[in-house]
Chains A and B, each alone.
Chain A
Amino acid sequence: MASNKKYWKSVEELNENSSIVETLRNNEFVEPIPVDEFLGDKESLSSSSTTRRDFLKYVGFSTAAASLAACEGPVVKSIPYVVQPEEIIPGVADYYATTMADGFDFANILIKTREGRPIKVENNNLEGAKTGANARVHASVLSLYDSLRLKNPKIAGKDATWADVNTKVKASLEDAKAKGGNVVVLTNTMASPSTDALIASLVAKYPTTKHVVYDAVSESNALDAFQAVYGVRALANYDFSKANTIVSVGADFLGDWQGGGFDAGYAQGRIPKNGMMSKHIQIESNMSLAGANADVRIPMTVAQQKQALADLYYAVVSGAQPKNAQIAKVASQLKDAKNKGVVVTGLDDVNAQLVVLAINNALQSEAFNPSDAILTRKGDAKAVSQLVADMKAGKVHTLIMSGVNPAYTLANSKEFVAALKSVKLSVSFSMKEDETSSLTTIAAAAPHYLESWGDVAITRSNYSIMQPTIRPLFNTKQFQDALLTWTDNTVAYYDFLKSFSATSLAGKSWNQAVHDGFVASVASPLTAASADYASAASALAQAKSSNFDLVLYSKVGMGDGQQANNPWLQEFPDPITRVSWDNYVTISKADAEKGGFKNWNVANGGLNGSYATIKVGNATLENVPVIIQPGQAKGTLGLAFGYGKKAALKEEMQVGVNAYALYANLNSNQSATITVADGEHEFACVQLQKTLMGRGDIVKETTLEVFNTKDAKEWNPIPMVSLDHKPTAATEVDLWDSFDRSTGHHFNLSIDLNACTGCGACVIACHAENNVPVVGKSEVRRSRDMHWLRIDRYYSSENTFAGDIELKEGTSGLMNSIDTFSGMEDPSENPQVAFQPVMCQHCNHAPCETVCPVAATSHGREGQNHMAYNRCVGTRYCANNCPYKVRRFNWFLYNKNSEFDYHMNDDLGRMVLNPDVNVRSRGVMEKCSMCIQMTQAVKLKAKREGRLVGKDEFQTACSAACTSGAMKFGDVNDETSDVAKLLEDERMYHLLEHIGTKPNVFYHVKVRNDK
């Protein structure tokens, strides 16, 4: 077919005079290929020992050899122990009780070890243990295998021996003693009585020594207040299970507030029992985890919060009526609750902390327990700033640091770094060659807590033992051992600890204490001294609003940032914003519009946002990504600690901005200004859909009043479908024949939406148990995250979810619907929040199973939906057909692949892998297996012992990690099990029940106490 069309290959052809076009018409390449260079020299070509025939022979031979070699199986070596330790049986896990204490997180835990390798953290469920292992505690086992750990002590940047280090330090200490120079021991809160004793003996030997405690994230004001009233530098303890009215003013007590660990008690009171549940009122500026769980949430700036707290104080103490109607209601509820009420505050202000103690004492609150005070924060902000001043003035001769990184965590870190030069000898005990230890004279390699001995007093009634679960991986030494050496003590720290602890074991033997991991006693009562509460309250009442209140906080995932090189924690999506691999400033929608800050989605589904520049005093933080946060109080900003680290961090982990730069005077409430900066930031956000759009059957909710007074059919209706044109309950219609599941085990997982606080400990526990790979920021951004268990977070677009449903029901007509529904995509300014953990629902009639062309996914009689990875050919039909979107595809090979340089790419990091679970390869689908390796192990144990499986013996990683009791796993065919009872509960419902998948995971309707 003739055509007049002219086709052109490049822009050059448009220029008729181009020489290139002319050349190309005749030659294939513009420039001649330099063949002469290698073929031109005839002599060298002919004299080559490799002829063309030889070449072909070589090619043929190597191809044949390669293909033959591929047929050979690899030779696997097995190296048994020479002398096998008695307690180790290859293939059987051992559990050791120990205590995590890294200065920020403290918990009594169990460590699961396999062939001598710690591979997982479990809760210590003995009565009296201080549990509350959060996501970071669960992830801490991976930090043990951090490839960037300090492997040797270093002097002036060069590897040295411990003998050299000790000689050098001792010489410096002697020199200081002789010259009267000051020695400062700067540590984090170790809460270790034996270490305190060792430091005291160092002070006795070198009298110019001073001990300064420095918490990166300080509770100094709360400590000062408690000390003023009770005479002990500690924090008041709270048992929220004993409260029925909880008022929190800026305290994220389900997060890291005052050391955290309150969720178990809180959740206990949140499950409606006999028509009662606690009422939780949260007054705050950032949307915190506690705020997201609150029944009533009142967003306020810091100044407003202070005034509200003063009002509450006056209302409780003198009966004065607060002017603000909302606060007045709170005050009256609090007064009605009497000793069942409790007030907590996270305001970083000594007056606020004093007033809270006064209110709780006035209420005689049962939940308030000052006697069993928390000892895990001791930091003294004033002493730290004094230290920097002294260093600047050249008054510090020797500086010994342990567990701190002031060059990163101090707001005035530049001053600190400069002043460090005037210190004659500086030592830093650290696991990393971080910002500080790379500058000190001596970088002393410290062991991980899983390689250390120790004792920890978490509260006044607790004495915990830390025991090593693995030999030190590197040439490290504990700070305590060094202290013993420096004080001319020849005993090892272990022996010292053993004799030291004898008085604290309350009748338990040493072996028993090590076995249990802790000793619980009764704390001696503390009595409140009188303090000037009235002037504290009046100071609060006069609080003035600033330009923007910046509230610095710590994220559930990152904490104070010492585990920043932990890929599990980096990939952990924040429970509230659902953003991973980042920190960001949160701002309210109104302020964002005013200031010109935007969030938007781009074509590949990724979330982008503006940058901001934040100024606090003289400090400026640039290129801070902005997230518009529903529920953020107008006039406030939130920013998380722990990011923006650079030293001893893999490149992929160097994300976010350093919020410590704005942490002036270690106060988390700052006055700031914010301006738009150029550029756009790419977030890795795993959930872009913010609201439920009125789909009340996904997260079912009701109010306590309705729950108590109405029939379950009204607040937990069974969805109806049409059968023969008659409405029929969805549970009664079925396309498929059902298996008989009455015999044997039938596993179900129960999730109580009332108890779930969204803390995410289960997400990390699942990661650790199931060898879930880390995919990195850019892959998460492409929605290719691999988490088997996600915790969906939904905001209401009206003020309440009930309002959403009403709005949706009331909508009719096409145009009306379009307007309404597009409006419903945006969350409200102060929305209700709901969390919903979603993993594979293990449907009895699973849509994924029917579409798999190779039967790689199939159903087990015990209720689990099996996934045979090696059978999977990667069509991804199953993921498309899954209504819950819980299947994850391995787009790449995530292990032994330098493109994904996380723990699975180095030998050390791979030590954390669970040997009972397959490491998946590229191109296969994976998903929650309901921890079949754990249920199988329990069954096998019972079979071996010839007995029935015990009550609630079955567990999954998530249910075992859940301290709030939201997740309960078990066999519903065993009538005595918890889960069988929960299945019969009238709050029970299945997710998307109307599609008839008959899941083995069920939820409990969330009840809100919104009176």
Chain B
Amino acid sequence: MKKVGNHKSFSKIFFSLAFMLTFSLTAFSQDAAKGKEIFNTNCAACHKLDAKATGPALRGVADKYDKEWIYKWVKNSGDLIKSGDAQAVKVFEENNKVPMTAFPQLSNEDIDNILAYTSEPAPAAAAPVAGAPVAGKDGVTESGVSNNVILGVLTLVMAMLIVMLFLVYNMLTKIADAKGLEIVKKNRSLMGLFNAYAKNQFLVLVSAILFLLVSAYFAYGYLMQIGVDQGYEPVQPIHYSHRIHAGDNGIDCKYCHSSARVSKNSGIPSLNVCMNCHKNISEVAETTATEEHSKAFYDKQIAALYEAVGWDKSLQKYTGKTKPVKWVRVHNLPDHVYFNHSQHVTVAGVECQTCHGPVQEMEIMKQHAPLTMGWCINCHRETNVKVEDNAYYKKIHEELSKKYGVSQLTAAQMGGLECGKCHY
């Protein structure tokens, strides 16, 4: 996958947020910023501040338990439970008896920092929102205003011109009246025009030919687009945003579409792949929401995933009741075409975006390429075979490139235009 720049500079927002918070909370003796860093590297996989994940929510944890106990627990919870500490056993049992990883490497000071971070009061809902529009206005609103202004000015100029012309016309008429000139008005009936046209055989012939040619052109265009679904963008049962996943978060395409490496199918990821991340991400950040789709909207989609995969968010458990998702297939190759993803992705090293377009910018997946045979063949004609470090190609490339007198063979020269290579 191409390295994609963050669509909405997430990090910026985070930094500003952190910056803001750091300043506002310097009153704490421990370093909450450091604590956050440690939290994110060590704890965030299982804990959230305000919601239960694999482990319990950690905001205000310092108030609940004794600090010395927390040190022991963090460094080795297993020992604590084994020792029969009543509180430890209780916590263990409350959390589905999932043992917490021991962190003997954390010093007491580190833990203090984490606790400082977790003790920060929950940010007012307004805070991140206040941050978000800044980024938003920078991008969208400004350009919108300028366009509107230009358009408005243009309209005004046009209107003024029309008014001026009308005024000039009136003026001239008045002058003519005043001078006693008579304006001859020609009788321009439509019938007369048509009769004149019908009498001119040459004109009729030319326009008939023109008409036929134009209609043939459009008919051809119409026929050629039958079965070509470029831009096909069906509504999916779950609003899955490639923009958020591949764009904003920069997840590699082949993390989810892993079979593209070895199989003819790229594979729609099974829901357990989604749960690798979404076990911990049960809601989107406020900043993910766009003007089009609210946070609540996206959260609903994650909830839909949970329902399909049978994940009980509150109990952090699989219920076993699954509802497989019936996605609508976007790229439909006809049955008589054999296409193999692994040949293109693994062997040729073609970027996913070459055929699928800027997926990282697509809110909803759509068909980017026409997927016609001409489109396939053009690429085969133009693309060089990637032969480097591939022992399979070594000999055949040497011999064939000598034969064709080229330094780099295209897929077509390698036999990529033969009918039977794709049709069997």
Contact = CB atoms under 8 A, between A and B. Distances in A.
Interface of B: 226-227, 229, 232, 234, 259, 262-265, 267-273, 308-310, 322, 324-329, 332, 334-336, 338, 340-343, 346-347, 389-393, 395-396, 399-400, 403, 415, 418-421, 423-424
B391 A940 contact: no
Given A91-B259, A871-B419, A942 B392 contact: yes
B11 to A, nearest CB: 32
Given A79-B327, A82-B309, A82-B324, A860 B421 contact: yes
A771 to B, nearest CB: 11
Interface stretch (A412-420, A862-870, A975-983): A862-870
Given A90-B267, A743-B399, A946-B391, A77 B326 contact: yes
A73 B332 contact: yes
A511 B312 CA distance: 36
Nearest to A936: B421
Contacts, number: 153
B271 A743 contact: no
Interface stretch (A228-236, A886-894, A915-923): A915-923
A744 B328 CA distance: 41
Contacts of A869: 336, 423
Given A82-B308, A918-B335, A948-B391, A862 B347 contact: no
Given A79-B326, A80-B325, A916-B338, A944 B262 contact: yes
A79 B265 CA distance: 13
Given A918-B423, A948-B392, A943 B347 contact: yes
Contacts of B346: 944
A83 B392 contact: no
Given A929-B424, A944-B346, A946-B391, 7 more contacts: A81-B272, A83-B270, A83-B271, A89-B263, A90-B267, A860-B420, A933-B338
B234 A75 contact: yes
A940 B347 contact: yes
Given A82-B271, A92-B263, A76 B329 contact: yes
A84 B267 CA distance: 11
Contacts of B395: 948
B325 to A, nearest CB: 7
Could you tell me the dominant secondary structure of chain B's interface residues?
Answer: loop
A868 B419 contact: yes
B332 A76 contact: yes
B424 A917 contact: yes
B422 to A, nearest CB: 9
A740 interface: yes
A78 interface: yes
A299 to B, nearest CB: 46
B334 to A, nearest CB: 7
Given A82-B322, A92-B263, A916-B338, A864 B420 contact: yes
B382 to A, nearest CB: 20
A238 B322 CA distance: 56
Nearest to B340: A940
Contact of A744 (B329, B400, B424): B400
Contact of A79 (B269, B324, B338, B415): B324
A81 B415 CA distance: 36
A77 B423 contact: no
Contacts of A868: 336, 419-420, 423
Considering residues B267, B343, B424, which has the most beta carbons from chain A within 10 angstroms of its beta carbon?
B424
A866 B308 contact: no
A734 B336 CA distance: 35
A211 interface: no
Contacts of B267: 80, 89-91
A79 B238 CA distance: 13
Given A92-B262, A868-B423, A946 B229 contact: no
A870 B389 contact: no
A77 B328 CA distance: 5
Nearest to B399: A743
16 contacts: A75-B234, A77-B329, A78-B268, A79-B324, A80-B268, A82-B322, A83-B270, A90-B259, A91-B259, A91-B341, A743-B403, A744-B399, A861-B418, A867-B423, A868-B336, A929-B424
B415 A943 contact: no
Nearest to B229: A73
Contacts of B263: 89-92
B403 A744 contact: no
Interface string A76-106: 1111111110000111100000000000000
Given A744-B396, A871-B419, A80 B327 contact: yes
A936 B421 CA distance: 8
A620 interface: no
B418 A866 contact: yes
Given A79-B324, A943-B343, A929 B227 contact: no
Contacts of B420: 858, 860, 864, 866-868, 929, 932
Given A870-B336, A918-B336, A944 B328 contact: no
B344 to A, nearest CB: 11
Contacts of A916: 264, 338, 424
A858 B335 CA distance: 20
Given A79-B327, A864-B420, A946-B392, A740 B403 contact: yes
Contacts of B415: 744, 860-862
Given A80-B324, A83-B272, A866-B423, A940 B396 contact: no
Interface string A732-761: 000000001011100000000000000000
Contacts of B227: 73
B47 to A, nearest CB: 25
A81 to B, nearest CB: 4
Nearest to B385: A943
A483 interface: no
A917 B407 CA distance: 35
A104 to B, nearest CB: 35
Nearest to B400: A743
Contacts of A90: 259, 263, 265, 267
A915 to B, nearest CB: 9
Contacts of B309: 82
Given A860-B418, A918-B336, A89 B347 contact: no
A543 B336 CA distance: 64
A158 interface: no
Interface in A226-274: none
